Amino acid sequence: MTRVLKNPEEIKVTSNIKGVPVHLTRAGKQEKITAIYDRWEEEPEKNYFKIKTSRGHGYDIFHDLPNNRWCLAKIYD
C-alpha cells in the first residue's frame, strides 16, 4: 500500500556534493539511503527522489531548493 502525505513531513537529510541524498533522519531515527530508483523535477526548484533505506523503507522525498528543506512526500509499504 502506498500512502501520499497530504502535508509533506519535513525531514533531515544529508546529501553529497552533487545534492544526492545519502542519509535521512525521521522521528529521531537515522537511516542510510541504500538505493535511489528514480529522480525527477516535478515543480520548479523541487528535486524528487524515490529511495529505499537501510531499514527497508521506501519513500519519495524532495528537496525544496528555495527554502533549503527536505520533505517526505510518499511512503511505500
What is the pairing mode between strands 69-76 and 58-64?
antiparallel
Task: Name the pTM for this structure.
Answer: 0.93
CA distances in angstroms from 15 to 4, 23, 32, 38, 77, listed in the order given: 23, 7, 11, 16, 24
Return the DSSP state at 59.
Answer: E
6-64 tens-digit pLDDT:
999 999 999 999 999 999 999 999 999 999 999 999 888 999 999 999 999 999 999 99
Residue 77: predicted pLDDT: 85
Task: Specify whether the CB–CB gap between 13 and 24 falls below 8 A.
Answer: yes
